[in-house]
Amino acid sequence: MTAASLLARGLRRLGTHALTWGLTLSGLLLFTFLLSRLSPIDSALQWVGDHASASSYAQARLALGLDRPLPLQFAHYLGQLLHGDLGMSRSTSQPVLDDLKRVFPATLELATVAIVVGSAFGLSLALLSARYPGGAIDTLARVFALFAYSLPVFWLGLLALLLFYARLHWAGGPGRLDDVYLYTLPQGSGFLLYDAWRSGDRTLLANVLSHLCLPALVLALHACANIARLMRAGLLAEMRKDYILASRARGAGPWRVLLAHALPNAGALLLTVLALSYAGLLEGAVLTETVFAWPGVGRYLTTALFAADTAAILGATLLIGLCFILLNALADVLIHFFDPRSV
């Protein structure tokens, strides 16, 4: 294949993908918009409260644009969106974009630590299971994964707080920092681990870690269980294939077979599982964020939902949708890079 035809093929694929992503995003927006508008919650009433006068209520309806027909409201929103304006959040009185810039780093930091820890342990467990299938280690790992996967994450979070924060004082409590540091820090990147590391203040870094470790581990446990279960199945499927038999016949040791042959071939599955788990975490672990008073996207979206704050709901949904699409696209590209046969 010539370079030109390769490029043309790549561009064609990109075009198809972009079209799919665009359609997915607009469908997501339309659906969310309709859901938030058709819900029985009266957002003007939510804004002014139950005691307000009829004229204050009417004024609020007008300000929210609720007097206009639904298609016009949606068109207006899309118009604003094309100008990079996500609108004003009614419940925070801030532009939604500013709100998202504030809450997204908290979620991204938590999710990233959780996925790194979770995938490291999950993959290790899967490898051990695949190395000794049916053995004691495999059984233990499977039981562990099943438990970790089925435990409700908010309950685990509360238990973790009770034990490691309240009883043992090993970890920090709810929130991202102790109050001694909170609100006295200069505005940084929003990624506290990075900000603390850059500030060179060791006790600050320790404090950030002590608050991050519990929610991150609770989420990591869940991700770990998911990755371990799926990767175990994937690796065992690879191990039954002929090329494994062939490499064994050539004298490769069991670990070498597993790591150098089976694992790379299960790479596509691994990337997909990782992308989905990470996207799931980025979506905002609502319950975990609530239990740990973690000011992230999940909490932002839930409070917006309860307040019928349409601009905030749409903005946060759009962000989550974008994360999903970007991660999936990234996984696609990587899979294609590692295994050019896949289309």
Partner 1 sequence: MTLIFRTGLLLALAAVLPSWAATPARTLVVAQSIDDIVSLDPAEGFELSSVSAFTSLYQRLLQPDPLHPSQLRPALAASWRAGSDGRSLTFKLRPGARFASGNPVRADDVAFSLIRAVKLNKSPAFILNELGWKADNIDASIKVVAGDQVRVVWPAAVGASFALHILSAPVASIVDSKLALANAQNGDSGNGWLKTHSAGSGPFKIRQYLPHEALVLDANVGSPAGAPRLASVIVKNVADAAARRLLVEQGDADIARDLGPDQVAALHGGVHVESVPSAAVDYLAFNAANAENPALKNPALWEAARWLVDYDGIAGKLLKGQFKVHQAFLPTGFPGALNDRPYRLDVARARAILARAGLKDVTIKLDIFNQPPYPEIAQSLQASFAQAGIHLQIQPAVGSQIYAKVRSQTHQAAILFWIPDYFDAHSNASAFAINRNDGTKTVAWRNGWVIPALSDKTDAAVRESDAARREQRYREIQREVQTHSPFVIAFQAQDQVVLRNGVKGYVQGLLADMVYYDRVSK
Segment near partner 1 (CB under 8 A), from 29-37, 172-180, 242-250, 251-259? 172-180
Distance CA 321, CA 24 (A): 8
Are residues 302 and 290 in contact, defined by beta-carbon separation less than 8 angstroms? yes
Under rule CB under 8 A, residue 114 binds partner 1? no
Under rule CB under 8 A, residue 2 binds partner 1? no
Residue count of the chain: 343
CB nearer to partner 1: give 133 or 190.
190
Under rule CB under 8 A, residue 164 binds partner 1? yes
The correct pick among 13, 17, 25, 52 for binding partner 1 (CB under 8 A) is 52
The correct pick among 29, 32, 86, 90 for binding partner 1 (CB under 8 A) is 90
| SS3 assignment, position 164 | helix
The correct pick among 14, 180, 259, 260 for binding partner 1 (CB under 8 A) is 180
In the complex, the smallest distance separating the C-beta of residue 173 from partner 1, rounded to whole angstroms, is 5
Of the candidates 268, 278, 218, 262, the one whose C-alpha atom is nearest the C-alpha of residue 126 is 262
Contact code string over 312-341 relative to partner 1, x by CB under 8 A: ------------------------------
Counting DSSP H helices and E strands in the chain, the numbers are 16, 0
Under rule CB under 8 A, residue 213 binds partner 1? yes
CB nearer to partner 1: give 232 or 261.
232
Distance CA 105, CA 98 (A): 12
Beta-carbon neighbour count of residue 107 at 10 Å?
Answer: 26
Are residues 122 and 223 in contact, defined by beta-carbon separation less than 8 angstroms? yes
CB nearer to partner 1: give 89 or 317.
89
In the complex, the smallest distance separating the C-beta of residue 332 from partner 1, rounded to whole angstroms, is 30
Q: Which of residues 14-43 bind partner 1 (CB under 8 A)?
A: 40-43
Under rule CB under 8 A, residue 306 binds partner 1? yes
End-to-end CA distance of the chain: 16
Which DSSP string do the residues of 62-125 spell out, in sequence order?
Answer: HHTTTTS-HHHHHHHHHHHHHTT---B-TTTSSBHHHHHHHHHHHHHHHHHHHHHHHHHHHHHH
- Give the total of residues touching partner 1 (CB under 8 A): 68
Distance CA 264, CA 204 (A): 40
Q: Which of residues 242-301 bind partner 1 (CB under 8 A)?
A: 290-293, 295, 299-300
In the complex, the smallest distance separating the C-beta of residue 24 from partner 1, rounded to whole angstroms, is 28
Sign, CA dihedral 302-308-309-314, equals positive
CA distances 114 to 99, 216, 317, Å, are 23, 5, 22
Alpha-carbon radius of gyration of the chain: 24
Under rule CB under 8 A, residue 173 binds partner 1? yes
In the complex, the smallest distance separating the C-beta of residue 220 from partner 1, rounded to whole angstroms, is 9
Under rule CB under 8 A, residue 150 binds partner 1? no
In the complex, the smallest distance separating the C-beta of residue 82 from partner 1, rounded to whole angstroms, is 23
Residues in contact with partner 1 by CB under 8 A are 40-43, 45-56, 59, 89-94, 99, 102-103, 121, 124-125, 128, 144, 158, 161-162, 164-166, 168-175, 178-180, 182-183, 206-207, 209-210, 213, 217, 224, 290-293, 295, 299-300, 303, 306-308
